[in-house]
Amino acid sequence: EVQLVESGGGLVKPGGSLRLSCAASGFTFNNAWMTWVRQAPGKGLEWVGRIKSKTDGGTIDYVAPVKGRFIISRDDSKNTLYLQMNSLRSEDTAVYYCATLGDSSADWGQGTLVTVSS
């Protein structure tokens, strides 16, 4: 059974930093393209970015509002995905999900809440 468990969320002041983790199990992590999606309170889903598998080049892409502030990385030896968030703004307040958005299947974690407020 695929499991994705996010952690690291919490309250942070504007301009601060936070690192989220996503522990994966139940599938071959090093072959998977991993994605971060966020959802602001009461709002829709927003794709944050994706990291390809190393065998597919390891390319990382980001949505425009977070490019230059957020960094996605992975540690295949630990089956873990990361999201380093810097220069946080109030509009980054959201539940952050890690997910595998495949061609014919998708698995999501339960999300971790990040609140940016003074």
Q: How many residues bind another protein (CB under 8 A)?
A: 20
Give 7 or 17: the residue with its C-beta nearer to another protein. Answer: 7
- CA of residue 49 relative to chain centroid, distance: 7
Sorted by sequence, the CB contacts under 8 Å of residue 62 that are 6+ apart come out as 48, 49, 70, 72
Given 111, 112, 114, 116, the residue binding another protein (CB under 8 A): 111
Site for another protein contains 27 (CB under 8 A): no
Name the burial class of residue 114, with classes exposed (0-12), middle (13-18) and buried (19+) by CB atoms within 10 angstroms of its CB. Answer: buried
Site for another protein contains 63 (CB under 8 A): yes
Chain residues binding another protein by CB under 8 A are: 35, 37, 44-47, 50, 61, 63-64, 97, 101, 103-106, 108-111
